[in-house]
Amino acid sequence: MAFKKRTPKGGGSTSVATRQGSALVGVDISNSAVKMVQLSQKGKGYHLDGYSIVPFPKELVVDGRVADIDALAQHVRQAWTAQGGGTKSVVAALPSAMVTFKTFTHPAEDSKGLEAAAEFEASQLISLDEVNLDFQIIGAANNMPDEVEVLLCAARKEAVEEREAIVNEAGLSLSLLDVDAFATVNAVEFILSQAQRSWSNQTIAVFDIGATKMQCHVMRNGRLLYYKDQSVGGHQLSRDIQRRYGITYEEADQGKRTNNLPAGYEVDVRKPFIDGLVQEIHRSLQFFYSTVNVAQYQQIDMILLAGGTGALPTLEEAVQAKTQISTMTLNPFANISSNSNIALKQLVQDAPSLLVAFGLALRRFA
């Protein structure tokens, strides 16, 4: 998905930026860090050339809204240098909460009228003068053999231009602008394709749990069926640690990452936090069942965990025990090679938090 800039009728439309060479760096700007991944092709598989995670102050980005473009651009530039530099062409993403999604059907034979139909559907949601939009055919419409189903995405111009400004200020070039939910689906599709079993017609729930929010994606056969954002994440655990042991937030956050905390932390602080997180995951699944035609999709066949908080020890086992659904923590790099200067132990630790950046980097090969 690459957002379009509307132009006068007859003038066509162009993507936010044009492709500049084949190399692309995936850039995920979350509420707490800039994450970058650069991939290349090696034989029939993929190779990790470099990656980086550069944290920034938690007030710099709140719910996807940037407080200081120049300051954030400096962190983006730092992340680009840390992952090895090289190509300056990047693919970034808008937070799903900043994007309006809609599906509609359109006659399969009327390809020329599709853009006008998409603009009409978008106009029912928001003024076209205020948004950039894109659309994509996602397959045949159910029970309508002569129709196709089309996914429409609309984002406010300010949000698109802000991401472009951040990338430009960092001295980089925005080649594509995606949506983080679609990057997640893209990454998960790749990971499942590497598995030994077929996931065709299976319904997968992905919980990407970061510092300040938990994103629930439910997907099937490469389609996003359901998306929900919740304000729960690892910052809460850091605050719990801070209160429990009377230390600074920074000390609590670092201790959580290195597991360098007083005896009893796992039982007294981490376990209650995980218990609450499992309850939120269970509630999210119940909400999905209550709002989506579950009869059509039967049930959730697999739960996948991602994000820095999603990789907490014992969370995977706790989710599986509560939901009775097979659960796995994602590692996008499990079946690909990497440069010799990348520390594998650190990569395994960082991998779950790089899911979106990995999915964006895969756009090079789309």
Residue-wise pLDDT for 161-191, tens only, equals 999 999 999 999 999 999 999 999 999 999 9
- Please write the tens of the pLDDT for every residue from 194-251: 887 778 889 999 999 999 999 999 998 888 888 999 999 999 999 999 999 999 999 9
What is the distance between the alpha carbons of residues 315 and 300, in angstroms, rounded to a whole number?
A: 18
- CA separation for the pair 28, 55 (Å, rounded): 12
Q: Which amino acid is at 127?
A: S
pLDDT of residue 190: 92
Separation CA 254–CA 272 (nearest Å): 19
User: For residue range 301-319, what is the model confidence (pLDDT) as tens digits?
Assistant: 999 999 999 999 999 999 9
Can you tell me the distance from the alpha carbon of 143 to that of 129, in angstroms, rounded to the nearest whole number? 35
Q: Among 315, 331, 335, which Cα is nearest to 323's?
A: 315
64's CB contacts (< 8 A; 6+ apart) are 31, 94, 95, 97, 98, 159
Q: Are 210 and 234 within 8 A, CB to CB?
A: yes
Cα angle 309, 314, 317 (rounded to 5 degrees) comes to 110
Cα 253 from chain centroid?
23
The answer to whether domain 4-183+355-365 and domain 195-331 are alike in fold is yes
Task: Note whether 318 and 274 are within 8 A (CB).
Answer: yes
Which CATH architecture best describes the domain 195-331? 2-Layer Sandwich (3.30)
Whole-number pLDDT of residue 2: 61
The CATH architecture annotation of domain 4-183+355-365 reads 2-Layer Sandwich (3.30)
Over residues 27-77, the pLDDT tens digits come to 999 999 999 999 998 888 899 999 999 999 988 998 788 999 999 999 999
Q: Residues 15, 40: contact at Cβ < 8 Å?
A: no
> 126-130, 141-145, 208-212: which has the highest mean pLDDT?
208-212
In order, the DSSP letters of 197-256 are S--TT-EEEEEEE-SS-EEEEEEETTEEEEEEEES--HHHHHHHHHHHHT--HHHHHHHH
Check residue 145 and report its DSSP letter: E
Residue ranges covered by each domain of the chain: 4-183+355-365, 195-331
DSSP SS3 for 313: coil
Running DSSP on this structure, what letter comes out for residue 263? T
